[in-house]
Structure 1
Amino acid sequence: MDNNRSFYVVDIQEHEVRRYKIGDTQGTVVAGGNGAGNRLDQLYEPRYVFVDRDYSVYESDRSNHRVMKWEEGAKQGVVVAGGQGARKSLLQLDRPNGVVVDQLGTVYVADFGNHRIMR
């Protein structure tokens, strides 16, 4: 939930993140929504979402092994972690799950497949 009391839902089947404002029944796609894939406007089995104070959406894109940031109103995201396949190097993730961003903008990721927390 963000400061405007909007609620965010990850839809694994539709490969998208939706924002619901109070009273909404359909919601608005804020990340993905272009089918499964690895382009910057696509997600592949997103899992977790975090919304910062600027209403940017961070989502763990599990099967693309990356975390993406989608600024409010963006049509495509930016890879902020991972994205080079599932490996153990410090630049790669393996099935990322939880994602949190602190007040300084530091991204923390639960790197499920590598059994570690990445910053």
Structure 2
Amino acid sequence: DRDHSMYVSDQGNARVMKWVEGAKQGIVVAGGQGEGNGLTQLSNPRGVVVDQLGTVYVVDWGNHRIMRWPKGATQGSVIVGGNGQGGQSNQLNGPIELGYSVQFTKLNALSDTELRNHKS
């Protein structure tokens, strides 16, 4: 981001941390309320993308969903999946990451993602 921060998926603590350059401690920017499926929770977060406004997009692997956390938000919103594990058009099956092709439009909307689905 503009601060040269690093964003890290902290799977074991069900959260995403922001580490500002030179900081000795991170800041929770998504999750951090224990593992679960609530809008304040994540379950095994994986890939993270941050847009120009500081909105954090998180692959919530354990909940089979992609979440959006606006900068400073105390809870996120589900933008893809979140309807259980499966192959229906409203479901994901263990998404792993947001691909490198993620782009944002001039309105800062997520316009294209590549999801790699976990295959058992």
Same fold? TM cut 0.5: yes
1:25-64 counterparts in 2 under 5 A?
A: 25-64=24-63
Match of 2:113 in 1: 108
| Deviation, structure 1 residue 111 | 3.8
Match of 1:65 in 2: 64
| Deviation, structure 1 residue 91 | 1.2
Distance 2:24 2:12 in 1: 18
**Identity among equivalent pairs (%):** 40
Distance 2:34 2:57 in 1: 18
Match of 1:117 in 2: none
CA-atom RMSD in angstroms: 1.6
| Deviation, structure 1 residue 109 | 3.9
Helix, strand or coil: the match of 1:63? helix
| Deviation, structure 1 residue 106 | 1.4
| Deviation, structure 1 residue 99 | 1.3
- In structure 1, the gaps of 5 or more residues are 115-119
Whether the aligned pair in 1 keeps the contact of 2:3 and 2:21 (CA below 8 Å) is no
Distance 2:51 2:34 in 1: 25
- In structure 2, the gaps of 5 or more residues are none
Whether the aligned pair in 2 keeps the contact of 1:96 and 1:109 (CA below 8 Å) is no
Whether the aligned pair in 1 keeps the contact of 2:57 and 2:67 (CA below 8 Å) is yes
* TM-score (norm: length of structure 1): 0.89
1:4-43 counterparts in 2 under 5 A?
A: 4-43=3-42
1:62-101 counterparts in 2 under 5 A?
A: 62-100=61-99, 101=102
Runs of 4+, deviation exceeding 6 Å: none
Distance 1:107 1:64 in 2: 21
Whether the aligned pair in 1 keeps the contact of 2:36 and 2:42 (CA below 8 Å) is yes
* TM-score (norm: length of structure 2): 0.88
- Which residue identity is paired with 2:33? N
